[in-house]
A and B are shown apart, each in its own frame.
Chain A
């Protein structure tokens, strides 16, 4: 903690602190018999107090004019706040239930509806996080930038309840999610929470681009894969690997090589989905150590407050002064 002065020359005014030490401010009343006055410790103390507080007032005023400030500094903070981008799949397959049969846009037990419900709970529990939201199907939809406004983000989640359509195209969604982080200070962990039920092939060029962006933003990727029982597992190599038939497997492989923390959760029923979300939550509840830069802080206010206190003392003494007697 180091202190600087914005106008050090004003400290010269501190010399005025000598005046009250050398002279009393009160007009003297001629009194012929000072030697006859009995010694009075209380008066002596009060006199010293008044003189020193006058000096202190002068000092703190000059110090206040000099404008002291605390230098900018880095402070280590511990927090749980994370920047989370919800990347929600809205392809038409989200309207199916976990067994793969189409349920219609308004159905309650579709993958999308369950994901929404659980995500809403997740959002409601994570008090300290900032959330942003993107829907994607064939193209990403910019829904909500980073905000702490819970009702807004919950409304945004609710708003995806319309009928999904189109295909799953992950790459542009990821790109937009990562774009949210660009230019933002790194104050908490960055999480891209990808909720989707499938994947698609990503072009080689786009992969490199995404990898670069992931490494620049250092975002953590969680993929909650709403698996259709008929689809293959992410961890098992399919019997007939091919980017067009089992894109999930290849996407998983690609994500593992991103160079940023990555985890995938497979959920093949609502309970598994809930477990996956709870697991994400626990992972991101780890205390987060980060350095925060505090701007330089003006502390001249304290000097003025001290001066005010001293001057108030002097003013009250002034009010007590006897200018002449007997009246």
Chain B
């Protein structure tokens, strides 16, 4: 069973399609918008007697309502080589699980879903255009699970804006966020039109469950840089502290651009994501 969560946005969707979210459009709904002339909105069901009597020109007034609209939901995934890390759990597998959950939840909420994967460019064969999918295409999820990321960078994230359309969308930006804060800032600025949920995909093997003792030779899958470390409890503490600091920095910079990051570490807990949405 695909896990579901509830999401919620605090902005009005400009979308025409009826859906679950508050909208700026007037239409069939329960949210009172205002009064207008019956001639401009010829729906006698909504005749408002008090407003009609109040009108000094004695015209017939009707109540108007805001409809609830669907919003586009995107998952923008960083599929550069660093996402190929397998610690306690393969990151691509976790990404697939997360994507499936978002896709299914969007369908259940009545929203459109699209998927964009990038490494150094946009991965066209991974692209899933915005549709009302009954669950994201199983093919995509299968592809994600079996993906061996080998992109040398995540520069494709910068090209993603044209793919997101003009309408404001809820964008789950899934990445390990191992990029410089400047680049992250630029990226978030480019996505300013959208409601971006930064999903930080980490693995506890990166910082928490490191070996206590021994020689490890780390290689960065993207740059090929190597470092040999003599692991020992003190160094483990330092690495852990370094990630803790990173977590704070990410929190600060993402909060500046609208939302705090959601940390997806080792396993996906949909209830946690629900709480995330209702907390902010």
Contacts and interface: CB of A to CB of B under 8 A. Distances in A.
A26 B207 CA distance: 21
Contacts of A295: none
A317 interface: yes
- Interface class of chain B by DSSP: mixed
Contacts of A38: 235, 238-239, 241-242
Contacts of B227: 34, 37, 43, 47
B214 A36 contact: no
A31 B211 contact: no
Chain A interface residue count: which class? 20 to 34
B229 interface: yes
B265 to A, nearest CB: 13
B82 A33 contact: yes
A34 B243 contact: no
A24 B228 CA distance: 9
Given A32-B176, A37-B242, A46-B230, A325 B217 contact: no
A244 interface: no
Contact of A28 (B83, B84, B217): B217
B217 A24 contact: yes
A28 to B, nearest CB: 3
B221 A32 contact: yes
B49 interface: no
Contact of B243 (A36, A46, A321, A327): A36
B59 interface: no
A28 B226 contact: yes
A175 B231 CA distance: 81
A31 B220 contact: yes
A239 interface: no
Interface string B243-268: 10010000000000000000000000
Given A30-B85, A43-B228, A325-B210, A36 B246 contact: yes
A47 B217 CA distance: 10
B126 interface: no
B211 A32 contact: no
A29 interface: yes
Q: Which of B206, B219, B225, B229 has the most CB of A within 10 A?
A: B229
A286 interface: no
Contact of A30 (B84, B230, B241): B84
A317 B226 CA distance: 17
Contacts of B222: 32
B152 to A, nearest CB: 13
Nearest to B176: A32
B138 to A, nearest CB: 28
Contacts of B221: 30-32
Nearest to B91: A32
Contacts of B215: 26, 46, 317, 320-322
A159 interface: no
A26 B219 CA distance: 11
Contacts of A32: 82-83, 85, 176, 178, 206, 220-222
Interface of B: 82-85, 87-88, 176, 178, 205-207, 209-211, 213-223, 225-231, 235, 238-239, 241-243, 246
Given A31-B85, A38-B242, 16 more contacts: A28-B218, A28-B219, A30-B219, A31-B218, A32-B178, A32-B206, A33-B206, A34-B220, A34-B225, A37-B227, A38-B235, A40-B230, A42-B230, A322-B211, A322-B215, A326-B211
27 contacts: A28-B217, A29-B216, A30-B219, A31-B206, A32-B176, A32-B222, A33-B178, A33-B206, A34-B219, A35-B220, A36-B246, A37-B218, A37-B227, A37-B239, A38-B241, A40-B229, A40-B230, A43-B229, A43-B235, A46-B228, A320-B213, A322-B211, A322-B215, A322-B216, A326-B209, A326-B210, A326-B211
